[in-house]
Amino acid sequence: MTIVSMNNIVKRYGNHLALDHIDLEIRAGEVLGLLGPNGAGKTTLIHALAGLIGTDFGSIQLFGQRHGRNNLAIKRRLGLVTQEVTIFDDLTAQENLAFFGGIYGLKGADLKQRIHETLAFVGLTDRASKRPTKFSGGMKRRLNIACSIIHQPELLIMDEPTVGIDPQSRNHILESVRELQRRGTTILYTTHYMEEIQNLASRVVILDQGHVIAQGTIADLVNNIKHEEKIKLEVSELSEELIAKIRQLDGVKMVVQEGTALHIISRSGAGNLDRVLSFARQAGGVRAIHAEKPSLEDVFLTLTGKQLRDSEGE
């Protein structure tokens, strides 16, 4: 069942077209991974879906109803985990939850019970009476999530929920996402960590320059570039001349530099592995070379021309 339908959405900021006739559906119970380079329009899409901004054209339907900035009934069925931590430092953890729970109409014994359950869910029961100023970055992120799920939303939008935190907190958050899905929550999840999408997402949407340029399961997207191969080359000395020679090879579609390594996308069967190896040896030596099967990272690289981690910031 489709619970979100964005049809022909257009959003402009002056002369900048942030969303260019976007069509997007989210199905009940899935984790939909939203990927895109910096400036792709991800945050604008999320804000439009959450009802924080209006759109210039098109319609958004949530739970079978038309959604807009003033539709409070729909907003109470949503949760938004913002990229920036939005909690009150001068309130304790449980006071933060009481405030946000009250916004969603919770009160009395129901609110008290939800605070208890939500703190336990995010692993902060022992910090209930502490202010966030005493928390690590990971604990603040978990409290941020708690404030977004205290009212048990049917649709949870998570915008970069693991930015800048320790591995333990990241693992806790990822397991929380899995558990929320098991409980029936539908989740829109955006991140710059490809491995999170690979571990969590039922489907993936790739956004670039305000367009949905690809969508489907990870297997579907990878299958679409099965006619390509990826070569990772690590060299002793990396020169512009070497990069230029590789780019000129027949069948080479893309060359991306990462330190002293090159990620090369080439047409499958073009025979470029030997040629690349020969060029690298002439240029001063090879540390390592690998031919790899396409991955979701390669799909993103092929479609956007960028690596996902290079696009942090939106």
pLDDT at 127: 94
What 3-state DSSP class applies to 26?
A: strand
In angstroms, the CA 216 to CA 87 distance is 35
What's the chain's Rg over C-alpha atoms? 22
- pLDDT value at position 313? 43
Q: How many CB atoms lie within 10 A of CB 262?
A: 22
289 bridge partner residues: 233
267 within 8 A of 228, measured Cβ to Cβ = yes
Q: Phi first, then psi: give them for residue 113, nearest 5 degrees.
A: -65, -40
**What's residue 310's pLDDT?**
55
The whole-angstrom separation of Cα 56 and Cα 64 is 21
pLDDT at 314: 43
Mean pLDDT of each 10-residue bin along the chain, 314 residues long: 95 94 96 92 94 92 85 88 92 96 93 96 95 92 96 96 88 94 96 91 94 92 79 85 90 85 82 83 82 81 72 46
Strand order in the sheet with 252-258: 252-258, 261-267, 228-235, 286-292
Angle of CA points 76, 216, 7, to nearest 5°: 50
Query: Which residues share a beta bridge with 2?
Result: 27
